[in-house]
Structure 1
């Protein structure tokens, strides 16, 4: 019985760790479209297992002096996907924004910070925000896309945006 339990725990841990592996295949819907010509763009994607990551993320945010609003937002997240793109283009970003518009994502904020443009879009189900997409684009054709799933309120997102805007 103990051997069976150890095997189960080992398989469970391997499953968690496997989702931490960085992949060169995109993990965000628009970029998974095989018919789109990405013209030499290179991808690196990470699926963050929230069971393992929440405590580390909250600790790092506290060490960096982030507000409790931001830390509470992490508590409500159920899944995070990160995608980095190098050699991207402004056309690709424009097409991505059109894809989001077509899929009912609302633009909530655009913040300029140290030469980077940070765009926050959300998809609501009634009063609850089920999905938040954060896009960070720089002038160097490098982009970062963060797809956060969870159960957020408009107030949660507004507090986080205000905290980032104040800095």
Structure 2
């Protein structure tokens, strides 16, 4: 969990310090292409400039003594989008999960930590994973969605999940 929290904090810090695109409109497909009623929901989208983010994230992970699996995973990322949602609902999460299932995302791991649920889903093209979606939900109806595109192997993701699970 520490690794995922660090990645989220680093991405958000980069969003503030670097010239990335920050918007109050959602940047993840389910939320932009949905006829869902988002009344009362507040979004903050961050499109992270990957070229700038990679070196900063790798350096921060090394300083935090994170494992090589997580650092190697960051190296293979080609695009990172972050979406935070305030006032989300359980129904919205369930509908989002159904959307992912309908679009051939496979659930790889669910990690529970201090009341937060972290869900990792991937979309494969043969042996290559082209897209990884990480969802972090809390009891306070606050959600974080991280959409990571790249060329990952099954081994890359499994090692990262195992290292996060072992560290908690």
TM-score, length-normalised on structure 2? 0.87
Cα displacement (A) at 1:18 = 8.8
Alignment of 1:126-165 (within 5 A): 126-165=126-165
Matched, 1:70 2:70: yes
SS in 1 for 2:135: strand
Corresponding pairs, count: 151
TM-score, length-normalised on structure 1? 0.87
Q: CA offsets, 1:30-65, max 9 Å, x none?
A: 010352101211000000111111100001111122
Greater RCO, 1 or 2 (C-alpha within 8 Å, sep 6+)? 2
CA contact (8 A) 1:80 1:147 kept: yes
Distance 1:78 1:19 in 2: 17
SS in 2 for 1:107: strand
Instruction: Give the stretch that moved more between structures: 126-135 or 57-66.
Output: 57-66
Matched, 1:33 2:8: no
> Whose Rg is larger?
1
Alignment of 1:93-132 (within 5 A): 93-132=93-132
CA contact (8 A) 1:84 1:145 kept: yes
Let me know the Cα RMSD of the aligned residues. 1.4
Alignment of 1:7-46 (within 5 A): 20-33=20-33, 35-46=35-46
Q: Which sections of structure 2, spanning at least 5 residues, go unmatched?
A: 1-16
